[in-house]
Amino acid sequence: MFGKRDIDPVPRTHYRSERVSAVNGQYFFATREGTLEGPFFTRYDAERHTEIYIQRMVKAKQLINHQRQAHA
């Protein structure tokens, strides 16, 4: 996948990797920010919460951008 995230200085190729991992029977997902979120009891729960996390991060970015525009 070729693209540029807001935090990247230049466009480059990003390779998707498995975000969900199991540790001692519990599931976690890794974020681009370098955090490990969890634990979750099932892989399904971890995958579902991955989507929720992404939606929350997108919404937070939108709110920040809205506040910056309002104060500009």
Structural domain harbouring 59? 2-71
Looking at the structure of the chain, the number of domains it has is 1
- Interatomic CA distance for residues 72 and 59, integer angstroms: 20
Give the predicted TM-score (pTM) of the model: 0.70
For residue range 34-65, what is the model confidence (pLDDT) as tens digits? Answer: 999 999 999 999 999 999 999 999 999 999 99
Residues 6+ apart with CB under 8 A from 65: none
- Please give the biggest Cα pair distance in the chain: 49
Helices (H) and strands (E) in the chain, counts: 1, 5
For residue range 3-25, what is the model confidence (pLDDT) as tens digits? Answer: 556 666 666 555 556 889 999 99
Residue 34 burial (CB count, 10 A): 6
AA identity, residue 67: Q
